[in-house]
Chain A
Amino acid sequence: MSISNLKLSVMAGAVTLLAGQILPLPSLAAEGSSVVAEGKAIALSRKKGNCLACHLIEGGEFPGNLGPPLIAMKARYPDKQKLRAQIWDPTAANPESAMVPFGRNKVLTEAEMDKLVEYIWTL
């Protein structure tokens, strides 16, 4: 994972937060939510994230149960970077993890990873 990507995603997150909570900046807010929407599309696509294969996501059809339900993600990962690292390569934290190393094995591009994390973090 490149540092610049990380910084970008963190910045984007901060901007989204600010835009959503304090500043009435419709253009920026729209951009933030479109990133989340793109992330959602990546998460749900069978050829990309295919998260539902293993995880329950509220509103998602036919979820598997190999992995834990994707809920309360902000509470579980207060640090968004840690969430990104976990999706990038879950075997780093646990060599026996059954989860796909989406970033390390380039199932997703770094840009797709950024968008995906934005979405997952909203769950």
Chain B
Amino acid sequence: MKKLLNRVAVLAIAGTVSMGAQATTPEEDRNAFNKLYKWRFSGVPMEEFVNGAYAIDPIGRENWEAIEEFPPYEPFIDEGEVMWETPFANGKGYKDCFPDGPAIAGNYPHWDKEQGMVMTLPLALNQCREANGEKPLKYKKGSITNIVAYTAFQSRGQVTNVVIPDDDPRALAAYENGRKFYFTRRGQLNFSCSTCHLQNTGMKVRTEILSPTLGQTTHWPTYRSKWGTVGTLHRRFTGCNKNIRAKPFKAQGEQYRNLEYFLTYMSNGLELNGPGARK
């Protein structure tokens, strides 16, 4: 309590008001993020942020555009289409779980009130499999990326529109947990997501440009040259955490799902353009 009073006193002296209660709404968070990136990259149109570092790095962009002429993720889309069309052993298929068709990426992540958790596309696909007696797929690489690549490709042009429903306070709590994760320093190197992707976005670590948070969720799965294959968003989270020497969390576990909920909300209004290709 005394500590809290001290902090309030310090803040009052410093004249900052907004830092005190941290009671910002998701929309206020998103506006603050947008404002920072608009200011940092003043010449970059908002819709360009879906292209990550290539929105701000002309040399990297040239290489990337050359790669996109023969997209390395194409075979994965094709295999995903086969998966989508092929019935499970019980005769049913993905189509029965997702009657709205394969263009469903724009519906994820969303708050699942019944299960009381953030539902992501890979998780929903696996729940469909399990409900039909099929083994769940692994979440970071392998055939999960095919089916997600196919749905992503079919969903291109949809607009990110994460909703935090106000009829279930747990949804906002999940968003806030994701936000807390984003700003929490981790690992031996003591970085948070925001250290690199907000505070120092656009700067270089060695030759690598730190991508803006805005647009980071629009293009999954992504073919990464470093991986030599397509991987999921949660695989990327895992890699980020390892880079800062933190023990990664479970792919599709609560921490990463909440982080995805927050991150995707920050990209509300941006077009989906998956699958992507990155260095």
Contacts and interface: CB of A to CB of B under 8 A. Distances in A.
Real complex partners, A and B? yes
A53 interface: yes
Contacts of B200: 66, 98
Interface in B194-229: 195-196, 199-200, 203-208, 210
Contacts of B210: 66
Number of chain A interface residues as a range: 10 to 19
A72 interface: no
A101 interface: yes
**Chain A contact residues: helix, strand, loop or mixed:** loop
Contacts of B208: 64
A81 to B, nearest CB: 22
Contacts of B195: 98
Contacts of A52: 206
Given A96-B199, A98-B195, A98-B199, A64 B206 contact: yes
Given A96-B199, A98-B195, A98-B199, A54 B205 contact: yes
A82 B190 CA distance: 21
B189 interface: yes
B255 to A, nearest CB: 21
Interface residues of B, number: 15
B188 interface: yes
Contact of A62 (B196, B203, B206): B206
A65 B203 contact: yes
Interface in A53-83: 53-54, 62-66
A85 interface: no
A91 interface: yes
Contacts of A100: 188-191
A107 B174 CA distance: 33
A21 B207 CA distance: 39
Contacts of A107: 188-189
A105 B188 contact: yes
B206 A98 contact: no
Contacts of A105: 188-190
A106 to B, nearest CB: 8
A92 B273 CA distance: 42
Contacts of B204: 64-66
A64 B203 contact: yes
B100 to A, nearest CB: 43
Interface in A8-55: 52-54
B189 to A, nearest CB: 5
B190 A91 contact: yes
Interface string B94-120: 000000000000000000000000000
A54 B207 CA distance: 10
A91 to B, nearest CB: 7
B199 A53 contact: no
Contacts of A62: 206-207
13 contacts: A62-B206, A63-B206, A64-B204, A65-B204, A66-B200, A66-B204, A66-B210, A96-B199, A98-B200, A100-B188, A100-B190, A105-B188, A107-B188
Given A53-B205, A64-B203, 4 more contacts: A54-B205, A96-B199, A98-B199, A106-B188
